[in-house]
């Protein structure tokens, strides 16, 4: 389905990166939203200027780079700020990803191009895609992974999880679901099965 617009998403600590890497190994071109999110806050870009106007110069270093840790702390204290920042940056991120999709389609007409977007549903981008692949882990598994991976307390892990749409609510709106609750070989086999369907 080379002409289909395909999105890969999940929740925090579901193992989406592992699945994205598997798709890349199988031949997919992956457009990683996190990579574009880093690009749009680079000094001198229009998007960075828009962010500066929103949050103020105190969140930027002298060289124009973002003070990520300081901003992250403020977002935790003021969750509504996250939405305002996303409303400024998301159009730039998606605009760059769409432009890259068009470029890659011209260069590689038969390639399967996958948009890797963690906040696909939260940002309302799901309506822009023909197929959605969800990497799924139970909330209990997500919490345990956050505790071990990010050294969070159980309460902090649950709070982090609460900032995204519940993973179970995403299942009903996804075309393919790859379960990742512990057996990595099973997860990779599911990825291969999905690939055989979307690359044909």
Assign residue 20 the CATH number of its domain: 3.40.50.300
Segment holding 49, helix H or strand E: helix 46-55
User: What pLDDT sits at residue 2?
Assistant: 60
Residue 181 pLDDT more than 80? yes
Q: Are residues 24 and 47 in the same domain?
A: no
Same domain, 57 and 88: yes
Nearest to residue 55, comparing CAs of 39, 73, 35?
73
* Confidence (pLDDT) at 163: 84
> Among 96, 130, 147, where does a domain finish?
96
Q: Answer yes or no: do 128 and 155 share one domain.
A: yes
Nearest to 97 by CA among 75, 114, 79, 122: 114
State mean pLDDT over 5-17: 95
Judge contact between 76 and 45, C-beta under 8 A.
no
What per-residue confidence (pLDDT) applies to 1?
59
Query: Which domain covers residue 43, as residue numbers?
Result: 37-96
One domain for residues 127 and 54: no
Q: Are residues 24 and 41 in the same domain?
A: no
Q: Is residue 86, in this structure, part of any structural domain at all?
A: yes
Domain shared by 24 and 116, yes or no: yes
Number of neighbours of residue 85 by Cβ within 10 angstroms: 18
3-state DSSP assignment of residue 102: helix
Instruction: Give Cα separations from 84 to 64, 87, 95 (angstroms).
Output: 20, 5, 18
Q: What is the token pair recorded at 149?
A: 């991976």
In terms of DSSP H, where are the helices of 65-183?
A: 68-77, 79-107, 139-149, 154-162, 167-171
Host H or E run for residue 131: strand 131-136
Do 15 and 56 sit in the same domain of this protein? no
- Does residue 135 contact residue 15 with C-beta atoms inside 8 Å? yes
- Could you tell me the pLDDT band of residue 76, with boundaries at 50, 70 and 90? confident
User: What pLDDT, on a 0 to 100 scale, did the predictor assign at position 75?
Assistant: 86
Shared domain check, 199 and 152:
yes
Count of domains observed in the chain: 2
* Shared-domain flag, residues 21 and 56: no
Residue 106 lies inside a defined structural domain of this protein: no
- From CA 24, how far away is CA 19, in angstroms rounded? 9
Q: Is residue 16 part of a domain?
A: yes
In a domain, 84, yes or no: yes
Alpha carbon distance 176, 8 (integer Å): 9
Distance CA 64, CA 48 (A): 9
CA dist., res. 57 & res. 35, Å (int): 23
Q: Quick one: which H or E segment has residue 135?
A: strand 131-136
Residue 80 lies in a domain: yes
| pTM > 0.85 | yes
């Amino acid at each position: 389905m080379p002409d289909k617009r395909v999105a890969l998403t999940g929740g925090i600590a579901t193992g989406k990166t592992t699945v994205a890497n598997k798709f890349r190994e199988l031949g997919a071109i992956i457009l990683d939203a996190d990579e574009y999110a880093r690009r749009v806050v680079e000094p001198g870009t229009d998007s960075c200027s828009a962010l500066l106007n929103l949050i103020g110069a105190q969140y930027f270093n002298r060289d124009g780079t973002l003070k990520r840790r300081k901003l992250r702390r403020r977002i935790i204290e003021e969750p509504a700020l996250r939405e305002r920042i996303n409303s400024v940056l998301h159009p730039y991120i998606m605009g760059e990803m769409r432009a890259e999709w068009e470029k890659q389609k011209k260069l590689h007409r038969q390639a399967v191009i996958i948009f890797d977007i963690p906040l696909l549903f939260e940002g309302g981008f799901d309506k822009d895609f023909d197929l959605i692949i969800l990497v799924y882990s139970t909330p209990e598994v997500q919490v345990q992974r956050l505790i071990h991976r990010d050294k969070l307390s159980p309460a902090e892990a649950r709070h982090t999880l609460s900032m995204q749409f519940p993973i179970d609510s995403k299942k009903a709106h996804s075309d393919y679901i790859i379960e990742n609750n512990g057996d990595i070989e099973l997860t990779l086999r599911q990825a291969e099965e999905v690939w055989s369907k979307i690359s044909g």
